[in-house]
């Protein structure tokens, strides 16, 4: 049976049921809603935050060939595979006349992280790819402009090639923290909806003709605003693939959109922004092999803005057997440190003989 398209055009015949995740019903028309709300580019709501929240990226791990940065919101990471387009990016920096990192930090607008890399490391003898348009300034993968967390960059041509191959062959364990609307009922779950991209509107949507995508979530806890009624769930999400907006779309497709997501949860984004000023999505942990084939695990601490948002919440225990009106009791404040959470997460189980899968060594390493 063919999977009906979600987010574009009318639904197909009722004889073809909607696809189901391993824990619940099929996806909602998320992509369509995002396009109807005009969700392309950086929103005005998000853009207003960057003058206050754009923090200099920080190296949190490095060796001779690879560096892992902690990226905050307001940094654009999308990079082209075409050298000519990357040359245009480099030329834009010259045209603007920017000569110092501080000018990028204080611009009040989203800035491309390649401009930061150029200004910061152009004279570094260790970071040989800082100005290399052919090697995409060393940037090995992407993060959304309003997503924070760990970003991997190749310092040398060998490091960049190693990372690019690792991402292509699913050899990197990518683990995120996100806060979503509603009480996610299953402790763990797997979402396998294929994802397509709409270039015209800068949004993704679930569709039969899309690329295979897999997200594995584990619920960390349930929370609510202090004195409020609406329930939120804090989740760890491991992604096996890296489709654009994958976590945002997958979680929204099972009825639990991310907090302050102005693309796939437009109707709640303005209200969310009153206590969470930007998308609650953070690349929390990476697992990978370095060029010497040693296993490395890097954790990116939660950024200050998301920590402050968590402090407005209180943890609750829900009796989810009462589906329509679950009973709850307050447990305490929401956590802002997650190193101790390692023991609370079971290993992600996601081997599938019919699809690419994360290597067994990373599955065992991912708590």
The answer to whether residue 319 is catalytic is no
Decide if 9 contacts 32 (C-beta within 8 A): no
Q: What is the CB-side half-sphere exposure of residue 15 using CA atoms within 13 A?
A: 2
Written as six digits, the tokens of 47 are: 């853009």
Catalytic residue, chosen from 144, 146, 192, 272, is 144
E-strand spans in the chain? 58-62, 66-71, 75-76, 111-112, 148-154, 173-181, 188-191, 195-198, 203-206, 215-225, 231-239, 281-289, 295-299, 313-319, 327-333
Decide if 163 contacts 237 (C-beta within 8 A): no
- Residues labelled catalytic: 144
């Amino acid at each position: 049976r063919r999977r009906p398209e979600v987010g574009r055009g009318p639904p197909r015949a009722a004889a073809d049921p909607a696809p189901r995740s391993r824990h619940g019903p099929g996806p909602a028309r998320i992509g369509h809603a995002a396009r109807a709300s005009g969700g392309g580019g950086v929103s005005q709501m998000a853009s207003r935050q960057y003058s206050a929240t754009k923090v200099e990226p920080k190296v949190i791990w490095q060796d001779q060939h690879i560096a892992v940065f902690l990226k905050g919101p307001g940094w654009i990471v999308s990079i082209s595979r075409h050298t000519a387009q990357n040359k245009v990016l480099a030329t834009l920096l010259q045209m603007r006349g920017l000569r110092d990192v501080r000018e990028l930090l204080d611009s009040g607008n989203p800035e491309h992280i390649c401009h930061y890399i150029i200004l910061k490391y152009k004279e570094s003898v260790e970071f040989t790819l800082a100005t290399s348009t052919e090697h995409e300034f060393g940037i090995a993968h992407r993060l959304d402009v309003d997503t924070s967390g760990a970003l991997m960059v190749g310092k040398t041509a060998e490091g960049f090639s190693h990372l690019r191959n690792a991402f292509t062959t699913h050899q990197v364990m990518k683990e995120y923290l996100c806060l979503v609307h509603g009480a996610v009922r299953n402790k763990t779950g797997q979402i396998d909806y294929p994802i397509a991209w709409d270039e015209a509107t800068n949004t993704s949507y679930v569709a039969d003709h899309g690329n295979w995508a897999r997200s594995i979530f584990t619920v960390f806890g349930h929370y609510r605003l202090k004195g409020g009624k609406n329930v939120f769930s804090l989740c760890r999400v491991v992604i096996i693939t890296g489709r654009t907006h994958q976590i945002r779309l997958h979680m929204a497709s099972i009825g639990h959109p991310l907090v302050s997501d102005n693309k796939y949860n437009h109707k709640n984004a303005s209200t969310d922004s009153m206590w969470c000023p930007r998308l609650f999505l953070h690349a929390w942990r990476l697992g990978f092999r370095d060029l010497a084939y040693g296993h490395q695990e890097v954790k990116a601490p939660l950024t200050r803005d998301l920590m402050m948002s968590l402090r407005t919440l209180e943890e609750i225990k829900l009796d989810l057997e009462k589906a329509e009106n679950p009973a709850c009791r307050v447990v305490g404040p929401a956590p802002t440190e997650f190193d101790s959470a390692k023991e609370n997460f079971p290993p992600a189980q996601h081997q599938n003989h019919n699809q690419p899968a994360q290597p067994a060594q990373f599955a065992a390493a991912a708590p």
